[in-house]
């Protein structure tokens, strides 16, 4: 437990926040720090490893059994979300958690409270790793990175452990939807793979949202307010009107399960011009297309009302529901379920209300469901992860490898 804890703490100490506005890959230079570290650690373990110009670490462990079995891959991303700072992360380690509030020492009065996050009570008696309240933690997805690296170390140090070909991949920029844009599936060499990028212990997912971004620009007309009557067009207010035409019940705070949403993620503007950024999500492909069409129709309505050119929107697809690519290979789901059960854990097969690198990889020809990494409250200062969940996920990796070898 001490080794896996030290490894995780070392990885979260590296700032790897990605940047959606950057055109480069990786989107931030600081992601290279962890990518190079992982490449060096794999090589030091004697594993054949490469790091290419796009920031993809790929490693290969050859089979040590006589029969032919599929090459199985395990993938995690190194970047942390732009939603909160990942610099100078100061984790708190709460041993033998007693079920009470956990003060986050970096911000006076801030605490993780079971009254607000009742899932904390599932982990009484365990070791919880939290933030100090000033940054996110980075368990998304450095817990996944830790779990894979721990499994690799086990395989290397236990030559009697029987396995087929094992492929390892670490990617940048997953949090901004560009994680595997240039990922070479053929070079990776796996027939099937799993991302270690899910939430709390037991989660297993092979369905995710269809996803798009929508960037709305409002061109207003600024006139001195003393003589503005009949002339001024306030871009901020027009943008607010446009936003009000989207269905309120289809916002994230009112949806769950398979329900999709429109999510306003940023706004900046003046009277003269304003920009609204949305993400659009739905598991059902037809409903997804309807949502994209609706925002286009609303933009047209605004243009009819205020004049052509007042509003414009750029809609870009980001990823699609992996189910149609993974379900024909359902045996890889069955093996993951069995691997989780082998650890005495009840599998929670559920749709992802988000996306992973595995979605895009599945459409690139590499079926790739998602397994729990163990963390909760990702992307913010309330993030935490039980140490025992990280350990369990690493064992699930080894169990999957064993099941394929059998």
**Cα Rg of the chain, angstroms:** 23
Report helix, strand or coil for 82.
coil
Choice among 15, 132, 140, 174 that is catalytic? 174
Task: Find tokens 């019940």 and name the residue.
Answer: 249
Structure tokens given for 64: 């040590």
Q: From residue 108, how far is each of 99, 111, 130, 132, 396 by CA, in Å?
A: 21, 9, 15, 10, 38
Choice among 15, 41, 79, 203 that is catalytic? 79
A 10 A CB-CB count for 365 gives: 11
Question: Would you say 329 and 358 are in contact if contact means Cβ atoms under 8 Å apart?
Answer: no
For the four alpha carbons of 45, 174, 144 and 127, in that order, the dihedral sign comes to: positive
Cα gap 199→297, rounded to integer Å: 36
Cα gap 64→405, rounded to integer Å: 10
Structure tokens given for 121: 């009570």
DSSP label at 227?
Answer: G
**Which residues lie below 8 Å from residue 369, measured CB to CB, with a gap of 6+?**
194, 195, 204, 205, 206, 322, 326, 332, 333, 336, 358
Question: Would you say 405 and 159 are in contact if contact means Cβ atoms under 8 Å apart?
Answer: no
Question: Would you say 190 and 71 are in contact if contact means Cβ atoms under 8 Å apart?
Answer: yes
DSSP label at 83?
Answer: T
CA angle 206, 148, 6 (to 5 degrees): 130
Cis-peptide into 257, omega within 30 deg: no
Cα gap 51→40, rounded to integer Å: 10
End-to-end CA distance of the chain: 28
Is 53 a known active-site residue?
Answer: no
Question: Would you say 340 and 396 are in contact if contact means Cβ atoms under 8 Å apart?
Answer: yes
Is 383 a known active-site residue?
Answer: no
Question: Would you say 105 and 132 are in contact if contact means Cβ atoms under 8 Å apart?
Answer: yes
Q: From residue 85, how far is each of 21, 26, 80, 243, 397 by CA, in Å?
A: 16, 17, 9, 28, 30
The set of catalytic residues is: 79, 174
């Amino acid at each position: 437990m001490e080794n896996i804890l030290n490894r995780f703490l070392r990885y979260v100490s590296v700032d790897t926040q990605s940047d959606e506005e950057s055109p480069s890959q990786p989107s931030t230079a600081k992601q290279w720090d962890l990518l190079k570290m992982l490449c060096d650690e794999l090589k030091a373990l004697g594993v054949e490893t490469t790091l290419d110009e796009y920031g993809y670490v790929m490693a290969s462990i050859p089979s040590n059994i006589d029969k032919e079995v599929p090459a199985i891959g395990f993938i995690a991303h190194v970047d942390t979300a732009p939603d909160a700072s990942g610099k100078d992360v100061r984790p708190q380690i709460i041993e033998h958690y007693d079920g009470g509030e956990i003060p986050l020492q970096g911000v006076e009065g801030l605490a993780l409270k079971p009254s607000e996050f009742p899932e904390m009570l599932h982990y009484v008696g365990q070791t919880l790793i939290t933030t100090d309240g000033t940054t996110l933690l980075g368990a998304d997805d450095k817990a996944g990175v830790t779990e894979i690296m721990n499994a690799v170390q086990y395989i290397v140090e236990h030559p009697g452990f029987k396995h087929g070909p094992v492929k390892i991949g670490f990617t940048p920029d997953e949090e901004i939807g560009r994680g595997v844009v240039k990922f070479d599936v053929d070079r990776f060499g796996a027939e099937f793979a799993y991302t270690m990028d899910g939430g709390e212990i037991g989660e297993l997912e092979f369905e995710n949202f269809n996803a798009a971004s929508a960037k709305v620009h409002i061109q207003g007309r600024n006139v001195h307010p003393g003589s503005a009557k009949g002339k001024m067009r306030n871009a901020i207010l027009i943008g607010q009107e446009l936003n009000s035409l989207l269905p309120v019940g289809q916002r994230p705070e009112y949806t769950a399960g398979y329900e999709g949403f429109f999510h306003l993620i940023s706004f900046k503007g003046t009277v003269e011009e304003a920009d609204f950024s949305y993400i659009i999500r739905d598991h059902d492909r037809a409903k997804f297309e309807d949502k994209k069409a609706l925002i286009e129709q609303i933009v047209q309505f605004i243009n009819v009302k205020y004049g052509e050119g007042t509003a414009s929107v750029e809609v870009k697809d980001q990823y699609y529901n992996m189910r149609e690519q993974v379900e024909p290979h359902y045996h890889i789901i069955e093996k993951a379920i069995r691997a989780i059960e082998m650890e005495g854990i009840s599998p929670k097969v559920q749709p992802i209300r988000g996306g992973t690198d595995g979605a895009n990889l599945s459409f690139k020809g590499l079926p790739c469901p998602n397994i729990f990494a163990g963390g909760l409250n990702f992307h913010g200062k309330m993030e935490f992860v039980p140490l025992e969940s990280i350990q369990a996920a690493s064992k699930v990796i080894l169990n999957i490898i064993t099941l394929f070898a059998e």
